[in-house]
Amino acid sequence: MKKFVVLFTLLSCVAQAQLSRVYFTDKGANAEMLSNPYLFLSPKAIDNKEKRNVAVDIRDIPVSKSHLQSLHDAELEVKMTSRWFNYALVDGEDVFQKVKDLPFVKRVETPNRYKVSFAEMPEASQATNLTYGIADNQIEMVEGEYLHDLNYRGAGMTIAVIDGGFQGTNTLTGLDSLRQQNRILGTYNFVHNDTDIYKDGSHGTSVLSILAGYIDSAYAGSAIDANYWLLKSENESDENISEMDNWLAAAEFADSVGVDIITSSLGYNNFVGGVGDFAYNDMDGNTALVTKAADMAAAKGILVVVSAGNEGNSGWQYITAPADGDSVMAVGGVDASGAYVSFSSTGPTADGRVKPDVVAVAGGTAFISPAGPTYGNGTSFSCPIISGMAACFWQQNPSLSNMELYEAIIASCSQPFTPDNAIGFGIPNFRIASWEVGVEELEIATHINVFPNPIGDEFEVESEDFVIQKNIEISILDINGKPVYEHEVEGGNSKLKIQTSLPEGMYLLNIQYGGKSHLRKIIK
């Protein structure tokens, strides 16, 4: 008899059928499908991978139907399958005994039941209207209006919202334009294996309103022109073993239909009854199934944005999975003034990486309820602010890969050089991100050295070119292209000293001589 691993965990003293993951050794005859990816991926998914240089591989191929039939013949009900990790989630008794002699079975896992963390949901209350309605502050804090004013509002981008229920999405007034313009591309309920997402909870609807909500003169979301797939992976009324598997299934589905971004305001850190809780050491980016699923989605070219968690005031305190993923953008929370809110989960990861990655408004975030625009709390609500603005930024810069997009957002943050465990790299600035990517496309003068950089009130610029120049014009431009410093000096020396008092920020140093401009980015 061949050897394979069996991992069992006690769920209850009561005898009952349990959900188990049956992992396979191969994809069977399906492996031959690799030569024709159109058999298992949508044209948009294939186009996305080609644009972002992501190869189609064996992990993209569906699980073998013959393997699944064998499980069915063994009187096991298949609840879902994972092509990325090559397993089937099955329901039934004596799973090990029923599959142990099947030659294509690699191992069996019987995991615990997971408990999910949602945002706090307040009672609805009416609020004063501003330019964005009451969403004005949360958009302006990340300089989102800069992209919106340039008409980058997510058009042509596709976002998968993996969440709990979407009750009210089909009737909410603030989502009228989304429905009327047919920008809900599809739905799927991975809890009940059907397309009905409009029942059993409204958490997903609140999240969606922060992204796509629009009420004239009363509210505007972060990506009001984007397309959406609404995928329910969470049962808000019950914590079930299959919820992390459901999240994985939703992510694989999202990849197959060619989404650009996954946004998910769900987090996992403990289990029902306290049996098998995650330890902090498990937040290492490689342990939780949902984390591995999120990282795999990123490896497939998708930008994955998730909430950091609301455990800051609890005994747990730290981020929840999948926020610990190394390729996942975890979003923590600040209040309306930009100060850390104490319920936002903190970092670092167990292996010492910075988390959360970024923050946005989570204390008093504006969303749309059935009664109209109102406020709520939680990193569930800061997450869609960032994912929506990321869609607008990607619309502006379609040549970027998902991780280049990720890095550009991090580089734009309020504390890119001094991250901490509360707010990570800080609050993103999409005006700076947009400007910085634009500067990257210019011919940067690498032969000119600036030190120190970040600069102080006094810094030096050095180049051997300066020695043979008669006149050198120096200017510093802010992120709007406005000159904030101009000076003309004589050449003859390889070093130039510049003294100026500038506020903190990112600038473009423009040194002109010999009829050409020589550019360097500087930060203060």
Answer yes or no: do 355 and 457 share one domain.
no
Mean pLDDT of 327-339: 97
> CB-side exposure of 139: number of CA atoms within 13 Å?
29
Q: Does residue 37 carry a pLDDT above 50?
A: yes
The CATH number assigned to the domain holding 504 equals: 2.60.40.3080
**120 located within any domain:** no
Answer yes or no: do 190 and 261 share one domain.
yes
Categorize the per-residue pLDDT at 114 as very low, low, confident or very high, splitting at 50, 70 and 90. Answer: very low
Q: What DSSP letter does each residue of 238-260 carry, written as one string?
A: ---TTHHHHHHHHHHHHHHTT-S
Q: Does residue 13 carry a pLDDT above 70?
A: no
Answer yes or no: do 64 and 171 share one domain.
no
Answer yes or no: do 70 and 177 share one domain.
no
Produce one character per residue of 193-204: b if its CB has 16 or more CB atoms within 10 Å, e if not. Answer: eeeebbebbbbb
Mean pLDDT of 240-266: 93
Q: How far apart are CA 359 and CA 54, in angstroms?
A: 29
Residues 386 and 210: beta-carbon distance below 8 Å: no
- Choose the final residue of a domain: 422, 439, 456: 439
Residues 329 and 358: beta-carbon distance below 8 Å: yes
Token readout for 427 is: 């609050």
**259 located within any domain:** yes
Instruction: Please compute Rg for the chain using Cα positions.
Output: 25
> What is the per-residue pLDDT for 22?
93
Identify the domain containing residue 465 by its residue range: 443-523
> CB-side exposure of 110: number of CA atoms within 13 Å?
18
pLDDT for 207-237, tens place per residue?
999 999 999 989 999 999 999 999 999 887 6
Domain count, the chain: 3
For residue 447, indicate whether it is catalytic.
no
For residue 163, indicate whether it is catalytic.
yes
Lowest model confidence (mean pLDDT) among 75-84, 138-147, 295-304, 462-471: 462-471
The CATH number assigned to the domain holding 398 equals: 3.40.50.200
From the list 380, 382, 414, 434, the catalytic residue is 380
Q: How far apart are CA 87 and CA 68, in angstroms?
A: 10
**116 located within any domain:** no
Categorize the per-residue pLDDT at 119 as very low, low, confident or very high, splitting at 50, 70 and 90. Answer: very low
- Choose the final residue of a domain: 404, 419, 439: 439
Long-range contacts (CB closer than 8 Å, 24 or more residues apart) made by 65-69 = 65/28, 65/30, 66/28, 66/29, 67/24, 67/28, 67/104
Q: Does residue 353 carry a pLDDT above 90?
A: yes
pLDDT for 169-193, tens place per residue?
999 999 999 999 999 999 999 999 9
**119 located within any domain:** no
Answer yes or no: do 431 and 455 share one domain.
no
**122 located within any domain:** no
From the list 60, 163, 245, 260, the catalytic residue is 163
Burial class (CB in 10 A: 0-12, 13-18, 19+), 242: buried
Q: Does residue 253 carry a pLDDT above 60?
A: yes
> What is the per-residue pLDDT for 14?
32
Answer yes or no: do 390 and 411 share one domain.
yes
- Choose the final residue of a domain: 77, 111, 145: 111
Q: How far apart are CA 301 and CA 333, in angstroms?
A: 26
Give the whole-number percent of the chain exceeding pLDDT 70: 88
Distances (CA, A) of 259 to 44, 273, 285, 302, 403: 8, 36, 23, 7, 15
Answer yes or no: do 335 and 469 share one domain.
no
Q: Does residue 124 carry a pLDDT above 60?
A: no
Answer yes or no: do 324 and 404 share one domain.
yes
Answer yes or no: do 415 and 448 share one domain.
no
From the list 67, 148, 203, 518, the catalytic residue is 203
pTM recorded for the entire structure: 0.81
**239 located within any domain:** yes
**230 located within any domain:** yes
Q: How far apart are the first and last CA of the chain?
A: 66
Answer yes or no: do 428 and 448 share one domain.
no
Q: Please state the φ and ψ torsions of residue 205, each to the nearest 5 degrees.
A: -65, -40
Answer yes or no: do 83 and 231 share one domain.
no
For residue 216, indicate whether it is catalytic.
no
Of 118 and 11, more confident: 118
**118 located within any domain:** no
Categorize the per-residue pLDDT at 471 as very low, low, confident or very high, splitting at 50, 70 and 90. Answer: confident
Q: Does residue 75 carry a pLDDT above 60?
A: yes
What is the overall mean pLDDT for the chain?
A: 87
Answer yes or no: do 500 and 377 share one domain.
no
Mean pLDDT of 428-453: 76
pLDDT for 260-305, tens place per residue?
999 999 998 876 666 557 899 999 999 999 999 999 999 999 999 9
